[in-house]
């Protein structure tokens, strides 16, 4: 492991100041294929606050019951911990809900990457008949009927236009704040050698040497590429999602999915696009066999799982928003119609 670390170089005589600067600049982990999550500095608090309200507002769904937070629950690692999500009228979703945490670091959004960024993503579930089952027009009409929202949108965007563009921009601004710095592993990357223990370090070494790192790398330990699910052995599932193929319509992209982040992975069970793996141990075993052609031993799996659990960072501290009340003009939801 040490060959990949810059820490030894810091042992050379350096002024304390220089060493601190190098650490701050990330020099201590420059050679590692995973980099720490950087805390977010909120520059537009009003926009983030508006986005938070919208993220928690179930009135953006046909039923008045399902909000972004229903399936990207910030109490539960930004996911819903269900195999596939529950949509309008209890419809079974087609895919496992990916975590919203650190999602701004992904190369694209959704498992198949069909949205280029969080703003584009945010409009999807609102209008998806199997999810929130509303329409962008109805969502905007609803928000326009609520005086406090109208005031807030105007304050944030500086004009009276309240369209789905402003709605999704605000939601994305909130979601961009949902990063999880200070994971134990990041502290280790930053030079605190006591932040992870011997087993966790063994797990990380195996994670690298066995090839997991080829796809799960970068600040999000994933999220940076599309890869084939079932590379060495085919993945068996009843789930009908075909991954990237749905976007490109090219056969070569069939079963290529966005590599999920492993940040906070101990909180985001069950795993894989079909949610078929209940535990991290199962997920590591399956990945080893199907993607790497390697049967990990129980001890090896335990080591990798121990490493993965060091990737849990500080969860966003979210004060529950108080939603602006509907006005007499606001159309009431009819969830049972």
CB of 281 to its own copies, least distance (A): 7
**229 marked as binding residue:** no
Min separation Cβ 319 and its own copies, Å: 6
Helix (H, G, I), strand (E, B) or coil at 89: helix
Nearest distance from C-beta of residue 143 to its own copies, angstroms: 15
Query: 56, 49 in Cβ contact below 8 A?
Result: no
Asked if 323 is part of the footprint of its own copies (rule: CB under 8 A), the reply reads yes
What's the rounded Cα separation, in Å, for the pair 288 and 194?
A: 28
205 in catalytic set: no
Asked if 76 is part of the footprint of its own copies (rule: CB under 8 A), the reply reads: yes
Per-position x/- string for 273-302, each x denoting binding to its own copies as judged by CB under 8 A, each - no binding: -----xxxx---------------------
**Partner residues linked to 274 by β-bridges:** none
260: left (phi over 0), alpha (psi -120 to 50) or beta: beta
73 binds its own copies (CB under 8 A): yes
Element (H, E) at 92: strand 91-92
DSSP letters of 121-158?
HHHHHHH-TTTT---HHHHHHHHHT-HHHHHHHHHHHS
Is 76 labeled as ligand-binding?
Answer: no
Whether residue 212 is annotated as binding a ligand: the answer is yes
- Total residues binding its own copies (CB under 8 A): 44
Which range, of 38-46, 136-144, 292-300, 313-321, touches its own copies by CB under 8 A? 313-321
Using the rule CB under 8 A, give the single segment among 96-104, 226-234, 252-260, 326-334 that binds its own copies: 326-334
- Residue 68 is assigned to a ligand binding site: yes
Answer yes or no whether residue 89 interacts with its own copies by CB under 8 A.
yes
SS3 call for 79: strand
Q: Give how far Cα 331 sits from Cα of 103, 138, 154, 327, Å.
A: 33, 9, 22, 9
DSSP H or E stretch at residue 187:
helix 184-189
Report CA-CA distances (Å) from 59 to 54, 256, 317, 319, 335: 9, 34, 23, 19, 11
Which range, of 26-34, 85-93, 127-135, 251-259, touches its own copies by CB under 8 A? Answer: 85-93
Does 313 participate in binding its own copies (rule CB under 8 A)? no
| Distance of closest approach, residue 57 Cβ to its own copies, in angstroms | 8
Instruction: Extract the tokens encoding 15.
Output: 């002024």
With binding defined as CB under 8 A, does residue 129 bind its own copies? Answer: no
- Range 218-277, binding its own copies (CB under 8 A): 266-267, 269-270
- If binding is defined by CB under 8 A, does position 81 make contact with its own copies? yes
Q: List the catalytic residue out of 32, 120, 131, 166.
A: 131
Conformational region of residue 142, where left means phi above 0, alpha means psi within -120 to 50, and beta covers everything else: alpha
Cα separation, 85 vs 55, whole angstroms: 16
Nearer to its own copies, 36 or 313 (CB): 313
> Binding residues for its own copies, per CB under 8 A?
56-59, 63-65, 70, 73-77, 80-83, 86, 89-90, 92, 266-267, 269-270, 278-281, 315, 317-323, 325-326, 328, 332-333, 335-336
Q: Which residues are catalytic?
A: 131
């Amino acid at each position: 492991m040490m060959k990949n670390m810059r820490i030894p170089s810091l042992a050379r005589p350096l002024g304390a100041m220089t060493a601190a600067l190098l650490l701050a600049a990330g020099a201590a982990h420059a050679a590692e294929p995973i980099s720490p999550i950087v805390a977010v500095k909120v520059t537009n608090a009003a926009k983030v606050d508006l986005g938070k309200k919208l993220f928690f507002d179930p009135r953006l769904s046909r039923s008045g019951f399902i909000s972004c937070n229903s399936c990207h629950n910030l109490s539960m690692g930004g996911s819903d911990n269900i195999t596939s999500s529950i949509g309008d009228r209890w419809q079974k979703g087609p895919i496992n809900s990916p975590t919203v945490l650190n999602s701004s670091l992904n190369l694209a959004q959704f498992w198949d990457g069909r949205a280029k960024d969080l703003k584009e993503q945010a409009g999807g579930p609102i209008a998806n008949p199997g999810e929130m089952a509303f329409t962008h027009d109805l969502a905007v009409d609803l928000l326009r009927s609520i005086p406090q929202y109208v005031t807030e949108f105007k304050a944030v965007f500086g004009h009276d236009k309240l369209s789905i563009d402003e709605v999704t921009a605000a939601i994305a601004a909130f979601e961009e704040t949902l990063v999880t710095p200070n994971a134990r592993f990041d502290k280790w990357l930053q030079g605190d050698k006591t932040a992870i223990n011997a087993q966790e370090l063994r797990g990380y070494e195996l994670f690298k040497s066995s090839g997991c790192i080829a796809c799960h790398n970068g600040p999000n330990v994933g999220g940076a590429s599309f890869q084939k699910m079932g590379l060495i052995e085919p993945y068996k599932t009843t789930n009908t999602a075909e991954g990237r193929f749905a976007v490109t319509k090219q056969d070569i992209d069939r079963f290529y999915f966005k590599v999920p982040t492993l940040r906070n992975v101990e909180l985001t069970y069950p795993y894989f696009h079909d949610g078929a793996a209940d535990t991290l141990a199962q997920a590591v075993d399956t990945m080893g066999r199907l993607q790497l052609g390697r049967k990990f031993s129980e001890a090896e799996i335990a080591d990798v799982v121990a490493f993965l659990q060091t990737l849990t960072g500080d969860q966003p501290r979210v004060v529950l928003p108080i939603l602006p009340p509907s006005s007499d003009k606001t159309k009431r939801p009819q969830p049972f119609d």
